[in-house]
């Protein structure tokens, strides 16, 4: 009969409407913004910059290599590299972005900047309440606003952040092992060179020119 489908659909709607007063499972709406549904692990919005430790300047992982700026399809990243180097949170000197802006009115949340970054320095945020009254300058996210801690990254993407931390720790261990092996090889080479150029010990008759040895006196 024509219209049966509509009646069935209306019956489901009515059942859920009435049922939602008695069964919380049927209530699919929430009182936003007081209540919020948790976002899934892989939800993404706009990028942010990660820093390690407590200091956003010292701990910023970004070295201003500009790869993300070049690869961003709509060209909404703007970076100015520093002239000097600053110690990172481990004390190692590195360049840093003097300016790092992202125009969020242009960003299309494609995540390409994240994929091309060799330093795990830029990741996707879950922050979506970014509406502003002004259209232009206010939609330019600056370095200070973009910088967020690794702890924040763990909070919003726990699985991904744990995997990134493990990769970084593995890479650091490999680099440390290479450094140690190179230092050992250099020490061995220096010892071998020193042994080859060492003068003979004083009093060694066999090696003093002109001094007769017991065998030569017979
Ligand atoms: S998410 Fe895509 S569009 Fe947005 S800054 Fe990164 S590369 Fe550019
Ligand atoms: S975020 Fe990554 S790719 Fe972009 S400039 Fe910084 S280090 Fe380079």
Q: Which ligand is nearest to the CA of 72?
A: 1
- pLDDT tens for each residue of 191-205: 998 888 877 666 554
Residue 139 CA, distance from chain mean position = 24
Q: Which two tokens stand for residue 95?
A: 């360049």
Longest alpha-carbon distance in the chain: 133
Q: Is 121 in the pocket of ligand 2 (CB under 6 A)?
A: yes
**pLDDT band, very low/low/confident/very high, at 173 (cuts 50, 70, 90):** very high
Q: Which domain holds residue 96?
A: 47-156
**pLDDT band, very low/low/confident/very high, at 56 (cuts 50, 70, 90):** very high
Hey, which of 69, 76, 97 would you mutate to test ligand 1's pocket, going by the most ligand atoms within 8 Å of its Cβ? Answer: 76
The verdict on 73 and 148 lying in the same domain is yes
The verdict on 52 and 138 lying in the same domain is yes
Residue 215 has pLDDT above 50, yes or no: no
Cα–Cα distance, 61 to 49 (Å, whole number): 8
What is the average pLDDT across 180-186?
93
What is the average pLDDT across 104-110?
95
For residue 112, the ligand 1 atom closest to its alpha carbon is 7
Cβ contact 157:41 at 8 Å: yes
- State the average pLDDT for the chain: 89
Q: Give the domain-ending residue among 156, 177, 212.
A: 156
Task: Domain count for the chain, please give it.
Answer: 2
Q: Which ligand is nearest to the CA of 108?
A: 1
The verdict on 150 and 75 lying in the same domain is yes
**66 C-alpha to ligand 2 centroid (Å):** 6
Ligand 1 interacting residues, C-beta cut-off 6 A? 47, 72-74, 76-77, 102, 107-113
- 201 within a domain of the structure (yes/no): no
For residue 68, the ligand 1 atom closest to its alpha carbon is 7
Cα–Cα distance, 84 to 70 (Å, whole number): 22
**179 C-alpha to ligand 1 centroid (Å):** 36
**94 C-alpha to ligand 2 centroid (Å):** 12
Q: Give the residue, by CA position, lying nearest to ligand 1 atom 6.
A: 113
Top mean-pLDDT range of 86-90, 96-100, 138-142: 96-100
Look at residues 50, 54, 60 and name the one whose alpha carbon lies nearest to residue 160: 50
Burial class (CB in 10 A: 0-12, 13-18, 19+), 47: buried
Q: What is the DSSP string of 63-77?
A: ----HHHHH-TT--E
**63 C-alpha to ligand 2 centroid (Å):** 6
- 1 within a domain of the structure (yes/no): no
Provide the pLDDT for residue 203: 57
The verdict on 166 and 150 lying in the same domain is no
Strand, helix or coil for residue 96 = coil
- 13 within a domain of the structure (yes/no): no
Strand, helix or coil for residue 179 = helix
DSSP secondary structure code for residue 24 in this structure: G
Residue 97, domain CATH: 3.30.70.3270
The verdict on 83 and 128 lying in the same domain is yes
For residue 67, the ligand 2 atom closest to its alpha carbon is 3
Top mean-pLDDT range of 12-26, 114-128, 187-201: 114-128
- 74 within a domain of the structure (yes/no): yes
Global pTM reads 0.78
The verdict on 80 and 177 lying in the same domain is no
* Pairwise pLDDT comparison (94 vs 211), residue with the higher score: 94
For residue 207, report the phi and psi dihedrals to the nearest 5 degrees.
-105, 0
The verdict on 69 and 102 lying in the same domain is yes
Q: Using alpha carbons only, give the angle 119, 113, 36 rounded to the nearest 5 degrees.
A: 100
The verdict on 169 and 90 lying in the same domain is no
Cβ contact 89:58 at 8 Å: yes
């Amino acid at each position: 009969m024509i219209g049966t489908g509509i009646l069935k659909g209306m019956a489901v709607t009515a059942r859920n409407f009435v049922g939602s007063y008695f069964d919380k499972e049927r209530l699919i709406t929430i009182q936003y913004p007081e209540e919020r549904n948790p976002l899934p692990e892989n939800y993404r919005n706009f990028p942010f910059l990660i820093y390690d430790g407590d200091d956003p300047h010292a701990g910023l992982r970004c070295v201003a290599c500009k790869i993300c700026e070049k690869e961003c399809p709509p060209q909404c990243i703007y970076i100015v590299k520093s002239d000097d180097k600053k110690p990172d949170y481990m004390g190692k000197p590195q360049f840093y972005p003097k300016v790092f802006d992202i125009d969020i009115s242009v960003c299309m949340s494609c995540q390409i900047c994240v994929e091309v970054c060799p330093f795990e320095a830029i990741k996707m945020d879950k922050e979506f309440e970014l509406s502003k009254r002004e259209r232009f300058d206010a939609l330019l996210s600056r370095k200070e606003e973009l910088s967020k801690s690794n702890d924040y990254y763990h909070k919003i993407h726990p699985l991904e952040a744990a995997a990134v931390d493990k990769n970084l720790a593995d890479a650091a261990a490999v680099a440390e092992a290479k450094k140690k092996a190179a230092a050992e090889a250099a020490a061995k080479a220096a010892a071998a060179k020193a042994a080859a150029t060492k003068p003979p010990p004083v009093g060694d008759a066999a090696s003093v020119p002109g001094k007769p040895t017991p065998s030569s006196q017979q």
